Amino acid sequence: MEKRSVVVIGGGPAGLAAAIAAKENGCDDVLILERDSNVGGILQQCIHAGFGLHIFGEELTGPEYASRFHEQVDALGIEYKCDTMVLDISADRVVTAVNTKDGVIQIEAGAIVLAMGCRERSRGAVGIGGTRPAGIYTAGTAQRFVNIEGYMPGKKIVILGSGDIGLIMARRMTLEGAEVKMVLEVMPYSGGLKRNIVQCLDDFGIPLRLSHTVVEVRGRERVEGVVVAQVDEKRQPIPETFEYVPCDTLLLSVGLIPENELSAAADIDINRVTNGPFVDQSMMTHTPGIFACGNVVHVHDLVDFVTIESRLAGRGAAQFALGQRKESGHTLDVKPGFGVRYVVPSTIDPSALHYDEKFLFRVGDVYRNMILEVKNDGEVVYSKRVMQAAPGEMESVEITKQLAEKLTGSTVEIGLRPADAK
């Protein structure tokens, strides 16, 4: 059986960054397995600008951002196989994959990095009733049709969900001459970045209806319209507000789910909140030698943060494969406190830190004027003022040497408290 020190599953931004970091940390035989025909992942179809501000200090398009890493992969001589689908991974790190050139291949990996990304939630998951005609697409599928294939999925569009892809597609479809009638959001706030609401909706006069949803699709063969409704505080549609909106297309941007079918097959522990694996400070899952990074762990809003996180996973994987992994035996559980939905990582070994790690987390609601606190066994060891936090924007706390030294107990908790309360 072929042996590799590190096998990276997925050649999107997460996989590319992880592979580069693994190589830079001393692994010479890193292999990337990518199911698409090219590396770059979903960035290939994200032709809008806005990527790279944190990493490169400039605004790049998705393909530009991806190509910077692609070039680095080539320069470092990292091997990748495209059109290659991983069929199975085992807990003892045997990767089974298939492509047309090599057939079915099995590789024994010193370490594995899971970087499969995420998928979009579909209509069924949000329970929209009505007919099932052509013309209902997830925003990402529509984006592929428009930006890669060069075809329009529709002309008169209603978009459900104000996640970033939905917002980006509202602008994109408008620029292509389609009429975007409205963007609906079931929550009382948008799930997307503020800058995208301004640049993609406000600048084009596209209305955003908060606390609204689609209750029914109409049309037999092609979508003819949708019934939209306002929802109450329990997110239930209010019948008096039902309104028929004629359109030929419904685009869905109703959430992303980490794609963990392979992880499940290897019995990797999955966090029910993020739908991604639990990971430690080096992005290692509970299964030794299997690491994970990017949207397969938790859905990010900025690719820059995916890159940063994935470098940790690549370094961790290399160290594991080379027998250089440090473990002190003292680990703390990292738990979400008030107002926080989840924290990555979920465990931390303070003595194994490189001090470039971060606590990444999302809040569960819109909060204003709060204090963010990091507690070691209930005692506040770090705090900072948070003027505003929303579920659509990921928050972070850098794990400095100073902070790490205070993590002496068994539990770290990250939570909010109102700034004016004690």
Partner 1 sequence: MQYDVIVIGSGVTGAMTAYHLSRYQLRVAVLDKNLEPAAETSSANSGIVHAGYDAKPGSMKALLNVRGNAMMGDVCAKLDVPFKRIGSLVVAFSEDEAKTVQELYESGVKNGVPDMKVLNAEETYAKEPGLQPGVTCALYAPSAGIVCPYELTTAALEVACVNGAEYLRQTEVTAIEKIDGGYRLTDAKGTTYETRVVVNAAGLYADAVAAMAGDTSFTIRPRKGEYILFEKSMGKAVSHVVFQTPAAGSKGVLVSPTVDGNLYIGPNANYVEDKRDTATTYEGMNEIKTCSAKSVGGLDMRLAITNFAGLRATPSTGDFILNEPAPGFFNAAGIESPGLSAAPAVGEYVVELIRKSGAVSLVEKDGWTASREPVIRFREMSTAERADLVARDSRYGRIICRCETVTEQEIRDAIRRPAGARSVDGVKRRTRSGMGKCQGGFCGPRVVDILAEELGCDPTEITKFGGASYMLTGKTR
**Chain residues that interact with partner 1, rule: CB under 8 A:** 35, 83, 85, 87-88, 96, 98-104, 106, 119-120, 122-125, 127, 129-134, 137-138, 140-141, 144-146, 148-155, 176-177, 215-218, 220-222, 237, 248-249, 257, 259, 261, 264
Q: Least Å distance between CB 305 and partner 1?
A: 24
- For tokens 């996989």, the residue is 15
Q: Least Å distance between CB 267 and partner 1?
A: 14
Pairing of strands 2-9, 103-114: parallel
Give the nearer residue to partner 1 in terms of CB position, either 33 or 66.
33
Give the nearer residue to partner 1 in terms of CB position, either 64 or 259.
259
Q: Least Å distance between CB 150 and partner 1?
A: 5
Q: What is the DSSP string of 296-308?
A: GTS--S-HHHHHH
239 preceded by cis ω (within 30°)?
A: no
Q: Least Å distance between CB 419 and partner 1?
A: 34
- Rounded Cα gap, residues 173 and 153, in angstroms: 9
Q: Least Å distance between CB 22 and partner 1?
A: 24
Give the nearer residue to partner 1 in terms of CB position, either 157 or 348.
157
Give the nearer residue to partner 1 in terms of CB position, either 104 or 387.
104
Give the nearer residue to partner 1 in terms of CB position, either 97 or 370.
97
75-81-86 Cα angle (round to 5): 135
Structure tokens at 21: 């970091």
Give the nearer residue to partner 1 in terms of CB position, either 63 or 337.
63
Q: Least Å distance between CB 100 and partner 1?
A: 4
Give the nearer residue to partner 1 in terms of CB position, either 154 or 350.
154
Which residues touch 259 (CB under 8 Å, ≥6 apart)?
A: 116, 117, 118, 119, 296
- Rounded Cα gap, residues 353 and 111, in angstroms: 19
- For tokens 């479809």, the residue is 173
Q: Using an 8 Å Cβ cutoff, are 315 and 22 in contact?
A: yes
Measured in whole angstroms, how far is the alpha carbon of residue 144 from the centre of its chain? 18
Q: Least Å distance between CB 153 and partner 1?
A: 6
- Rounded Cα gap, residues 257 and 167, in angstroms: 18
Give the nearer residue to partner 1 in terms of CB position, either 104 or 421.
104
Residue 199, judged by CB atoms within 10 A of its CB (0-12, 13-18, 19+), counts as middle
Which residues touch 414 (CB under 8 Å, ≥6 apart)?
A: 334, 335, 336, 337, 340, 343, 359, 361, 372, 373, 374, 375, 397
Q: Least Å distance between CB 406 and partner 1?
A: 38
